[in-house]
């Protein structure tokens, strides 16, 4: 139970980290877009007024936009990696949950049990019929009389009931 709770906490933490990184990447992309727009405006200003000061501003704006794009790209890669990690943890947790639900115990006891109970029922009937036909007195068995048929058939029916548990 502790392992499941621990895995759940790790998964939730990874999801939160991935979400936070994605938000940072989105904000960095917004800033990069704004800086690119400013660089475009600075380049337009250079076309209208080709002075050294305008060229310097345009160059600085272009450098800032490039740097912001690089940062946004790096953050996006980190967010993608964190999201992949969270998805792997989530998939592993689901797989572990499925494994738990499937077959927690084995049913290897069923075949020998239903065969034994069925044969016991057949043997009960055979002994009863032979003892009646040969007039042999078997303690307790002879005293039951016709109930021996019900007991033998009941054991065979129980055998078929046990056989339904076999997977």
**Percentage, residues of the chain above pLDDT 90:** 30
Residue 24 host element (H or E): helix 2-48
What is the per-residue pLDDT across 62-96, written as a single tens digit (0 to 9) for each? 888 888 888 888 888 888 888 888 888 888 877 77
Domain ranges within the chain, ordered by starting residue:
2-101, 110-163
CA 166 and chain centroid, separation? 26
What is the per-residue pLDDT across 111-156, written as a single tens digit (0 to 9) for each? 999 999 999 999 999 999 999 999 999 999 889 999 999 999 999 9
Q: How far apart are CA 29 and CA 80, in angstroms?
A: 14
Mean pLDDT for the chain overall = 85
Both structure tokens of 55: 């060229």
pTM score of the predicted model: 0.49
Q: Are residues 24 and 79 in contact, defined by beta-carbon separation less than 8 angstroms?
A: yes
CA angle, 147 then 148 then 149, to 5°: 90
């Amino acid at each position: 139970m502790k392992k499941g709770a621990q895995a759940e906490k790790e998964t939730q933490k990874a999801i939160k980290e991935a979400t936070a990184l994605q938000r940072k990447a989105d904000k960095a992309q917004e800033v990069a877009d704004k800086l690119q727009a400013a660089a475009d405006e600075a380049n337009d200003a250079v076309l209208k007024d080709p002075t050294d000061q305008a060229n310097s501003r345009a160059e600085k704006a272009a450098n800032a936009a490039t740097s912001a794009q690089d940062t946004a790209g790096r953050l996006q890669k980190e967010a993608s990696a964190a999201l992949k990690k969270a998805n792997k943890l989530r998939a592993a947790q689901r797989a572990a949950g499925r494994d738990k639900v499937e077959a927690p115990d084995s049913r290897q006891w069923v075949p020998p049990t239903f065969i034994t109970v069925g044969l016991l029922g057949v043997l009960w009937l055979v002994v009863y019929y032979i003892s009646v036909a040969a007039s042999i007195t078997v303690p307790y068995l002879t005293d039951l009389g016709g109930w021996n048929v019900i007991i033998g058939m009941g054991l065979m029916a129980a055998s078929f009931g046990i056989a339904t548990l076999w997977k």
